[in-house]
Amino acid sequence: MHYPDLFKYLKLIISCKIVTLFFLACVIINGLAAKAIAEMNTLRIGTVAIPPSVGNPYRNTGPPHLFTWSATFDGLTRFNKYGELIQWLAISWENVDKLTWRIHLRDKVTFSNGEKFTSESVITSINYLLSSKSSKEAVAREFDYIRSVRSINELTIEITTKSAIPFLPRTLPILHIVEPKSWKKLGPEGFSKEPVGTGPFKLISYSPGILKYESFDSSWRAPNISKLELIAVPDSFSRAQGVASGQLDIAISIGPDEANLIKNNGGKALSWPSASLWAINFHHQQNGPFDNILVRKAINLAIDRSSLIDNLLEGKTSIASQPAPRIAFGYNNTLEEIQYDPLKAKTLLTQAGYPNGFKFVVQGVLGAGANHSAMYQKVSQDLLKVGVTMEIHPIPISQLIRGVMKGEWKGDAFGSTYATEPTLDVLRPLRNHSCLWSHPWYCNQKIMPKIKDALKTFDINKALKLRHEIMSFYRNEWVSLFLYESVRFAGTKDYVNGFSEENGFINYEKIYFK
């Protein structure tokens, strides 16, 4: 062999070995990556709080508890991210007459204990909510319009209502269906520790602050991940740190700063609008400043919402114009955003008899949502410019719920939402923010005939007209300090994909690791 040929031969051997080594290295690296991803079979989510009722889905009607229950249970309908009502455990429905609805159920659905989902499953859930045993259940109050329910066949039920409920299907997302045999055997308290639903995960253990699940692979919405842990981390910054440090995979109900902290540490920052409006709600009829409409209007005009949204929420939402978000049915597009006018606010305060302002206490849950702590501080600073001192008293979410449910307040106002979830109807929050509520902070009988009429009319045009008028009334009465349409932020590790929350529910079955 000639030397030039020998050199070529040696170069070829060396090149082949390099290519082989590179290929082997790629195989090893890809294998390790695949192994790492395979070993990441537990999804760890940091949330604000674990439901006190654990696996009893009837004790509460909104986030953050709906986030937990959507892992195990399903309602009959859902809303997608565009606000459209879609099929869920129910596949169709029709109005037989003004007091009767017929609902057709999804076939080939099973519970996590292997039992079949049928019309009897729905009847068991509804009958419990109609019984005296459900007196503690918040969801029972949502369905007190039902007179009776009966089975037409294995996959069809008929609901009879006490009065006309023209938008009944919009109420059904929170009618979570429990497995009848387990429910009857264990009772509500026992079932709460051993819940059985049709959702993608089943609870296997619980302890204070953490719920552990395993996948229900035969679920009609089977998950991509084999294990789930929901961990209560009340402070939003701590939730974000948990993701940044690798102790959590997802942090929900955080602010933009926390989301960016996760992003700057190699994760993903997410945001999306929610079907609610953030407000500070005044306690009316307390013989105080908030009984005066001039004061309520002044407080509203004193807040620089544009600055608040740009600096604290990255400009990702809109200024309030009424007690409802744009996605809700009945939103009044003719109402303009509330303007910032501190000079007029001071004039109104003087006219109301408070030329030197006044002091009031607001109770609020800090760390439960998007920059809530900073939001309260910003509102306080703006009010101070017109002579009003807002003293912020932090409370846990359990105390907020107790205040709403029992009227146990220790202040002059409290921070909360006008939440249109789960019906995405502007009337939904008025079940609380009106005389309809058992312990109302605002009750004005002047508007009640319109609210009641709007709740029962089947005429779509009349229904919209009444809702628009109600929104105008609440705006012109300055019932609350209307701030902005709520926006939610979350952060995930870079390998987490498919996470989404739509109108109060998390689609766990769409989450996967990659």
Q: How confident is the model at residue 36 (pLDDT cuts 50, 70, 90)?
A: low
Mean confidence (pLDDT) of the chain:
91
> Looking at residues 192-207, what average pLDDT do you find?
97
Mean pLDDT of 33-60: 81
The strand ranges marked E within 217-316 are 227-232, 250-254, 268-282
Handedness of CA 404, 408, 413, 414 (dihedral sign): negative
Residue 491 has pLDDT above 70, yes or no: yes
pLDDT at residue 137 tops 70: yes
Higher pLDDT, 62 or 85: 85
CA distance 137 to 223: 29
Q: Does the pLDDT at position 14 exceed 50?
A: no
In this prediction, residues 233-260 reach a mean pLDDT of: 94
Q: Is 508 exposed, middle or buried (0-12, 13-18, 19+ CB in 10 A)?
A: buried
User: How large is the average pLDDT for residues 231-251?
Assistant: 95
Distance CA 82, CA 327 (A): 7
Q: What is the mean pLDDT of residues 389-394?
A: 96
Task: Find out whether 53 and 68 touch, Cβ atoms under 8 Å.
Answer: no
Q: Do domains 40-72+199-267+493-514 and 75-178 have the same CATH topology?
A: no
pLDDT of 368? 61
- pLDDT for the residue numbered 405: 87
- Tell me if the pTM is above 0.85: no
pLDDT of residue 40: 61
pLDDT band at residue 373 under the 50/70/90 scheme: confident
- Structure tokens belonging to residue 206: 């619980």
pLDDT, average across residues 483-507: 95
**What are the sequence ranges of the domains in the chain?**
40-72+199-267+493-514, 75-178, 274-488
Q: What is the pLDDT of residue 18?
A: 42
Q: What percent of the chain has pLDDT over 70?
A: 91
- Domain 75-178, classified CATH 3.90.76.10, yes or no: yes
pLDDT at site 10: 37
Does the pLDDT at position 26 exceed 60?
A: no
Query: What are 198's two structure tokens?
Result: 């049709």
Does the pLDDT value for residue 6 go beyond 80?
no
Residues 70, 75, 81: CA angle, nearest 5 degrees:
70
Would you say residue 284 has pLDDT above 50? yes
Is the confidence at residue 31, as pLDDT, over 90?
no
CATH class of 274-488: alpha beta
**pLDDT of 35 strictly over 50:** no
Mean pLDDT of 155-173: 96
CB contact at 8 A, 137 and 59: yes
For the purposes of burial, counting CB atoms within 10 Å of the CB of 437, is it exposed (0-12), middle (13-18) or buried (19 or more)?
A: middle
Q: What is the mean pLDDT of residues 441-457?
A: 96
For domain 40-72+199-267+493-514, give the CATH number. Answer: 3.40.190.10
5-9, 256-260, 296-300: least confident range: 5-9
The answer to whether the bond into 422 is cis (omega within 30° of 0) is yes
Q: In this predicted structure, what is the pLDDT of residue 208?
A: 87
Say if strands 100-105 and 146-153 run parallel, antiparallel, or are unpaired: unpaired
d(CA 136, CA 187): 14
Average confidence (pLDDT) over 355-367? 92
Q: What gap in Å lies between CA 75 and CA 198, rounded to an integer?
A: 10
For residue 33, what pLDDT band results from cuts at 50, 70 and 90? very low
Average pLDDT (420-439) is 94
Residue-level pLDDT at 371: 77
